[in-house]
Structure 1
Amino acid sequence: MKFVAFERAKQGTGASRRLRNTGKTPGIVYGGSGEPQLIELDHNALWHALKKEAFHSTILDMELNGKEGKVLLRDVQVHPFKPMVLHIDFQRVDAKTRLHMKVPLHYVKADESQAVKFENCVVNQVMSELDISCFPGDLPEFIEVDLSSLKKGMSLHLNDVTLPKGVTAVTRGKPNPVLVSVVVVGGEEAAAGAEGAEAAPAAAAPAADAKAAPKADAKPAKKK
């Protein structure tokens, strides 16, 4: 994805507030061999770009002062209740330096699995993104995970997934974390309980009728 940034001369709270009032968003670019540089971006264009997953997880082409450079989105500050981006950070990308990024996990074909299709189960997603390390040229937009082989009682771990070429998972504490787990829907147990509940009153009904019968047949006592 490509976006256009403009050089920003002033910094500080007051300058940033005035910039936002004109429909711009203050930001900064850092890293690589260059010095940190203050920038500004068109707020509306940035707001729409942030809604795209690729803007968060891929290398971006930034045009600044007529020159293009490769950057990564590193931080976004958003207003707590207004649809407004307060500040944004980008990091320059060096082709020879490994990146440390979080990329989204796309789970596919869960509906085709035996667990979902025949065993009345649902797939519980434990992780929605994965921390990875790779060179810029190997950075994937997302990692696709095939769930078609899931069965009742299974859990899919990180080691069960084939990562793209050049990509290494970064795990902390758990070398083989669970990505998804298969959970049995409570409908079967609930249905069994409901059948038992219906059977109990039915069995008790004759006894209740038996007690009520003599009262129905009894004749009222004669008055003396």
Structure 2
Amino acid sequence: MSDAFTIIAEKRDLEGKGASRRLRRLAGKVPGIVYGGKTAPANVQLVHKDLVKSLENEAFYSHIISLVIDGKAEDVILKDLQRHPSKPQILHADFQRVVRGQKMHVRVPLHFVNEATAKGVKQGGGIVSHLMTDLEINVLPKDLPEFIEVDVANLGLGESLHISDLKLPKGVESIELSHGAEHDQPVVSIIKPRGMAADDTSTDEAEGEASAE
């Protein structure tokens, strides 16, 4: 998995907001930091366009990345990004070192399947509402999934799937559920479109029964 993404970086000696602004403006680079494990945190800089290109792939956010710093590779995960509020610019990147055999907290994207044919959409005329787009998990590096699938095929109108309803891959634990049942948040639901009356479904059923008589 660590061979899927490789990012080249350099050590960064200068610190402070002024140095970071000059780095972004004049050199086209992004300041970042690498931390975790038994090694001291390291300030790094990355080529902005290379990082942006990698970020276009959704898997980059939940994959183990080979970060090559001055020729030496380290396995890391992307932990945090700071983006400019109005420009397509990355301001800062945080990477966490991966320690083999040690569980880590990471967010992985949710992939929703069978939305068009879901019971509440096809039969009830509802629309799918995504309440979560990713899930924070606790997992060993070797078990890190690229995404978690959410199947809504049997979800009816007005119904929801919660975190506890998800089929998590082997070795994957939900951070929220580890805090107790009260943290079992809704992930996706099928809701009535605007303008759809509450008794539309029952009215349709009644009309169907009448015509059958």
Q: Tell me which interval the TM-score lies in, with the shorter structure as reference length.
A: 0.7 to 0.9
Partner of 2:77: 72
- Distance change (3 Å), C-alpha of 1:24 and 1:111: same
Seq. identity, % = 44
Aligned residues: 192
Map residues 80-159 of structure 1 onto 2, 5 A cutoff.
Answer: 80-159=85-164
Residues 1:16 and 2:20 aligned together: yes
Q: Quick check: which has more Rg, 1 or 2?
A: 1
Aligned 8 A contact 2:79 2:106 in 1: no
Residues 1:181 and 2:189 aligned together: yes
* Matched residue type, 1:152: L
Partner of 2:68: 63
- Distance change (3 Å), C-alpha of 1:17 and 1:152: closer
Distance 2:117 2:128 in 1: 12
Q: Which moved more, 1:177-186 or 1:140-149?
A: 177-186
Unaligned 5+ segments in structure 1 are 193-224
* Matched residue type, 1:10: L
Unaligned 5+ segments in structure 2 are 201-213
- Distance change (3 Å), C-alpha of 1:8 and 1:124: same
Q: CA deviation at 1:53?
A: 1.6
Would you tell me which structure has more helix in proportion to its own residues? 1
Normalised to the residue count of structure 1, the TM-score between the two structures is 0.78
Q: CA deviation at 1:127?
A: 1.6
Distance 2:112 2:121 in 1: 14
Distance 1:56 1:99 in 2: 14
Partner of 1:29: 34
For the aligned residues, what is the CA RMSD? 2.1
Normalised to the residue count of structure 2, the TM-score between the two structures is 0.81
Task: Tell me the secondary structure at the aligned position of residue 6 of structure 1.
Answer: strand
